[in-house]
Structure 1
Amino acid sequence: MSIQNRGSLIVIEGLDRSGKSTQCQLLLEDLQAKGKRVQLYKFPDRTTAIGKKIDSYLKETSQLSDQVIHLLFSANRWEVIEDIQSKIQSGTTCILDRYAFSGIAFSAAKGLNWEWCKSPDRGLPRPDLVIFLHVRPEIAAKRGQYGEERYEKVEIQKKVEKNFERIEREYMEEGMAFITLDASTSVEAVHSQIMNLVDKIDTSKALDTL
């Protein structure tokens, strides 16, 4: 299949409880309604063997070193990436709820070396569009179910927020479409902005790698 017929690779990132999953679902439904083939992937994928270890760690029922859990998160992406690439090449648009950028932001917030945090994901496909949904940590903390998992603490989220600012600067310098949206507005307003950005994606070029 020619490059012109490939699907898009869209990533939606954000702090915990920023509305990522809601916006991913709305985007999925909107694209499907337009007759497009589309698939949603959520990271971590907690259904795999690796994903189950991650789930246990996030729910604080098991303990792992910061380095080990970072590598497990990366491995969790790598174990499904062939499926994602195959779908993109066949013309299916893939929406990712979190990606390698979360790995960098969260692990670096715990003090791990920045470049080391990036290294396990080098070679993964580079998205056509990354959208970071920005909600101040103090606001996110007031949303339902906040605090149920390991990283849902305001002090950690503030560090992650700063790291995402650095990630955006670095990848935009490399030419990536990395866009921050104010996600403290209405769900409908955020969705409308996302759709405007998605409609502008150019799939005439092959995907590069991180």
Structure 2
Amino acid sequence: MATEQEERGALIVFEGLDRSGKSTQAKRLVEKIINSGRMAVLQAFPDRQSPVGEMIDRYLRGEIDMDEHALHLLFSADRFLKKKMIKQHIAQGVDVVCDRYCYSGVSYSLAKGLPEEWVRVTDQGLPKPDIVLFFQVSPEVAAARGGFGNERLETAELQAKVGKIMPTLRDDAFWKSVNADGTPDAVEKEVFQLYKELDRSQPLEVLEKI
């Protein structure tokens, strides 16, 4: 049986509506993993520091407009640019914690009316998460939290659509729901318990469908 040092890393994805608290909890999880003696890195999507991510950032802040198909592909490209890094970290025993992943990309594009069949295939081939932590929070609660409405996708109407679509992407084999209406400490405790239950015995898989 492999020792802890020989175990591969895990790919852990946080998904949910804007202002659901997932970004805060993703950072907390990385800190807790490191404090527990393992290695971990945080990867937010989009990566606003990359060339592709900078274009996305400008769109989100309302500086430029863009065809929705092109925007969807940019979000997807941003994730594929991190594919090699994710696989290398996992192989070296480092946990990769993602603040958003392809499920956000699919949900937002479907909410904006792009063709479902096309939208759901552009991320095939990415590393498959070991677990998706789906933060469940009502749009009303999310809207009441600080910062809502600062970017162009943070509208009540769009968030409501995304809130209905994202759960339909759920795969019970590796999705776990988190009650994001709890206190930060309560949510952190729930997340870490789910983390401790991860099975690392199988190789990292490839995402074949969404």
Deviations 1:127-147 (A, max 9, x none): 000011111111111111110
Q: Which amino acid aligns with 1:195?
A: F
Structure 1 residues 121-178: Cα deviation after superposition (integer angstroms, max 9, x where no partner): 100011000011111111111111110101111110011011111011xx22xx3x10
Give the TM-score taking structure 1 as reference length. Answer: 0.94
Distance 1:189 1:142 in 2: 19
Partner Cα separation in structure 2 for residue 184 and residue 114 of structure 1? 30
Equivalent residues in 2 for 1:119-198 (5 A)? 119-168=121-170, 171-172=171-172, 175=173, 177-198=174-195
Question: Which one of the candidate residues 23, 32, 47 is aligned to 1:21?
Answer: 23
Structure 1 residue corresponding to 2:80, chosen from 73, 78, 81: 78
How many residues are matched?
204
Structure 1 counterpart of 2:115, from 109, 113, 132: 113
Task: Tell me by how many angstroms 1:188 deviates.
Answer: 0.7
Amino acid at match of 2:9: G
Name the structure 2 match of 1:64.
66
- Residue 201 (structure 1) aligns with: 198
Flag the structure with higher helix content. 1
Which residue pairs with 2:95 in the alignment? 93
Q: TM-score, normalised by structure 2?
A: 0.94
Tell me whether 58-67 or 4-13 shows the greater mean CA deviation.
4-13
Partner of 2:176, secondary structure, is strand
CA RMSD of aligned residues (A): 1.3
1:45 is aligned to: 47
Q: CA deviation at 1:115?
A: 2.3
- Alignment of 1:12 with 2:9, yes or no, is no
Which amino acid is the alignment partner of residue 194 of structure 2?
Answer: L
Deviation, 1:208, is: 1.5
Provide the secondary structure at the position in 2 that maps to 1:191: helix
